[in-house]
Amino acid sequence: MKRALCLRRFAAAACCTALLAARADGAKTFKVELQPGAMHEECLHVAKDEKRSYSWKSDVAVDFNIHFHREPEVFYPVKRSAMRGDGGTFIAKSGEDYCWMWTARDRKARLEGRID
Q: How far apart are CA 7 and CA 13, in angstroms?
A: 10
pTM of structure: 0.77
Tell me what percent of the residues of the chain surpass a pLDDT of 70. Answer: 78
**Does a structural domain hold residue 110?**
yes
φ, ψ of residue 75 to 5 degrees: the values are -115, 140
**Does a structural domain hold residue 12?**
no
Residue 102 class from Cβ within 10 Å (0-12 exposed, 13-18 middle, 19+ buried)?
buried
Give the pLDDT score at 18.
32
**Does a structural domain hold residue 14?**
no
**Does a structural domain hold residue 54?**
yes
> What's the average model confidence in pLDDT over 46-64?
98
**Does a structural domain hold residue 59?**
yes
Indicate which CATH number applies to the domain containing 63.
2.60.120.680
Cα angle, residue 51 at apex, residues 58 and 68 outer, rounded to 5° = 70
The boundaries of the domain holding residue 63 are 28-115
pLDDT confidence bin for 108, thresholds 50/70/90: very high
Look at the chain and report how many structural domains it folds into. Answer: 1
50/23: higher pLDDT: 50
Give the pLDDT score at 11.
37
